[in-house]
């Protein structure tokens, strides 16, 4: 679904096509184009544009369930809902 389930969603998609000067067949061909992308292409693009040494990952959820897994990616900093650091 491309957000076409409602009239507002359909209008939003047509507006997006017009505002961004996308091809007229954009909505018809979008899914096929996305499916045609290989995992190798995604990885190559990520390596080209993302700097993993300076990347930040933001997680929200039950701290007890996700903290140990998050630590696998590097230093973990914990903040409350207002953005204040927690010890």
The model's pLDDT over 3-62, given as tens digits with 9 standing for 90+, comes to: 557 888 888 989 999 999 999 999 999 999 999 999 999 999 999 999 988 888 899 999
Residues whose CB is less than 8 angstroms from the CB of residue 10 and which lie 6 or more positions away in sequence, other chains included: 3, 4
| Burial (CB count <10 Å: 0-12, 13-18, 19+), residue 10 | middle
52 C-beta neighbours (distance < 10 Å), count: 9
Domain ranges of the chain: 7-49, 56-86
Query: What is the reported pTM?
Result: 0.51
pLDDT reported for residue 10: 85
Q: Does position 87 have pLDDT exceeding 80, yes or no?
A: no
């Amino acid at each position: 679904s491309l957000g076409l389930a409602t009239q507002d969603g359909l209008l939003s998609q047509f507006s997006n096509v017009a505002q961004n000067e996308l091809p007229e067949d954009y909505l018809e061909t979008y899914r096929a184009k996305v499916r045609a992308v290989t995992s190798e292409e995604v990885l190559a693009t990520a390596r080209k544009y993302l700097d993993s040494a300076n990347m930040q990952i933001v997680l929200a959820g039950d701290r007890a369930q996700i903290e140990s897994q998050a630590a696998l990616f590097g230093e973990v900093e914990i903040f409350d809902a207002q953005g204040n650091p927690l010890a």
